[in-house]
Amino acid sequence: MSEVTATQIFWHAQAPSAGRGLRRACRLLALGAADLGALGAAFVIGYLALSLFGAEIPNNDFKTLSLNMALTMLVAGTALGLYGTAGLDPLDRFRRRALVSLWMPWPSLGVFALAGPVALNALLLMALSTVAFLPIAMLLHAGTTRLLVARAAWGADVVMIGSCEDVARVASDLIAQPEIGLRPVGYFGDAPERGVGAGVPRLGGIAELSSLVGMAEIAVVLASPALRGLDLSSLPFSRIILVPQSGELPLVSVQTRALGRSAGVDFANPARARNGQAGKRILDLAIAVPALIFTAPLILVVALLIKHFSPGPAFYTQQRVGWRGNTVGILKLRSMHTDATERLDELLRTDPEARREWDTYVKLSRDPRILPVIGNFIRQMSIDELPQLWNVVRGDISLVGPRPFPQYHLAKFSPEFQALRCAVRPGLTGLWQVSDRSGADLQQQEATDTFYIRNWSLWLDLFIVMRTFPAVLGARGAH
């Protein structure tokens, strides 16, 4: 971390004040336009779907419905902070946008009810457009966010307060995830030691906090013994985000509680909770059953192609470690040669580079086991995983959860993490698949799966399901 003066950062923050107002207006327009575009596309999909069955929507009903839903969407989105760009993580944005989609139809229903009997076709259009809105809005907002980040029009500058090591840890996460919208511009704390830093300049020590006036709107305070006695309410910021010392706390659905003159942190322990399992099972069946029926013809065609390129069975069962450490048979389409084990052993014995890659990722970028022509394609598009929908229907695994690893893969993790993993049911897709895919090393896999287990909710499962489709279509890091 380089050493700069607080005065330099102050003038950096103040100089583009007019530009900041323009950027704020541009991002409000961009985010609002993305929502309106998503709603328009959802109406088109609903209208075309009804037209296929000969249903007609009166023009007056269509105008009333579209205008009311658009107005409700914009008002609700503004009330929930969806058009702000600082401090909301992607999961929180998804949850709030899902609430907006649930609220959109109700004012229109009220208007229709006051006008007289509600036409069935109008109700069907309302329902179809509401269902289609959320996934379209997520896709459009993902693109809009990337565009605004690239134009430096997303988020807000933040000053960080805490020890150099803590600042480096949190700042690196904020820099790696610009969609959160918190841009570290400097920190107050101890001087950096050799090898510690995240590209955030040091502005001074804790004793120099008086120079913070006018520097940024948001402060991120990293709790530590050195900050004990610091009066946070005296800091000149409109928003203060306090990061506790413990790294074991869940990061989602944490609430504060007043305990007399003390503040308590209240959170559930998802890995041990049982009250959400029924809802999780309903979600599994609601998605897996129709998905299995819909993809059955594709699975059959791919199975025939596999047999064409490689004699032997098209399907196979692989033993994986499941819930409570029990072994489960995972059904897959075969993407490898029938003598895959022998091919792998030979390569690892003769190629040191391949051995290092295998030890780091438990995967190979150039795998001699993969079938020619079709093997890499069905793995990149995750088609070989589709038969596992049957495992989901059977209850062997869940739709979303940590991936069920073979024993040799799981053995590379610490005993504590193995025990944590076995406390939940594994899943067909998971958080590290939609973020890093198979490009994640063992440390990233452990960190991402630990986050999922400690922060599990139905909202998080729905968020992962929504992000699975673009991740698969993009084939990011899959091999």
Say if residue 295 is in the same domain as residue 394: yes
Say if residue 308 is in the same domain as residue 178: no
Q: Within a domain: residue 265?
A: no
pLDDT reading at 247 higher than 90: no
pTM reported for the whole predicted model: 0.73
Indicate the number of domains in the chain. 3
pLDDT value of residue 9: 45
pLDDT average, residue stretch 474-479: 51
Say if residue 114 is in the same domain as residue 214: no
Say if residue 104 is in the same domain as residue 213: no
Question: Distance of CA 237 to CAs 141, 188, 210, 219, 234, Å?
Answer: 29, 14, 12, 6, 9
pLDDT value of residue 13: 46
User: Phi then psi for 255, rounded to 5 degrees?
Assistant: -125, 155
Say if residue 91 is in the same domain as residue 179: no
Say if residue 35 is in the same domain as residue 132: yes
pLDDT value of residue 6: 47
Residues 185 and 219: beta-carbon distance below 8 Å: no
pLDDT reading at 219 higher than 80: yes
Q: Which residue has the higher pLDDT, 313 or 198?
A: 313
Q: Within a domain: residue 10?
A: no
Domain boundary, last residue among 120, 150, 180: 150
Round to whole Å and give the CA distance between 53 and 395.
36
Q: Which residue has the higher pLDDT, 227 or 384?
A: 384
Domain boundary, last residue among 105, 120, 150: 150
Say if residue 208 is in the same domain as residue 309: no
Q: Within a domain: residue 382?
A: yes
Say if residue 160 is in the same domain as residue 142: no
Query: What tokens appear for 457 in the block?
Result: 């909710």
Say if residue 145 is in the same domain as residue 166: no
The CATH number of residue 218's host domain is: 3.40.50
Provide the mean pLDDT of the chain. Answer: 81
Say if residue 94 is in the same domain as residue 208: no
Least confident segment among 241-245, 261-265, 371-375: 261-265
- pLDDT tier for residue 125 given thresholds of 50, 70 and 90: confident
For residue 125, the enclosing domain spans 17-150
CA–centroid distance for 162 within its chain: 28
User: Phi then psi for 312, rounded to 5 degrees?
Assistant: 125, 180
Say if residue 124 is in the same domain as residue 166: no
Domain boundary, last residue among 126, 150, 174: 150
**Selection from 179, 244, 187, 178 nearest residue 216 by Cα:** 187
Q: Within a domain: residue 421?
A: yes
Residues 182 and 86: beta-carbon distance below 8 Å: yes
Say if residue 296 is in the same domain as residue 236: no
Q: Within a domain: residue 2?
A: no
Query: What tokens appear for 145 in the block?
Result: 């966010």
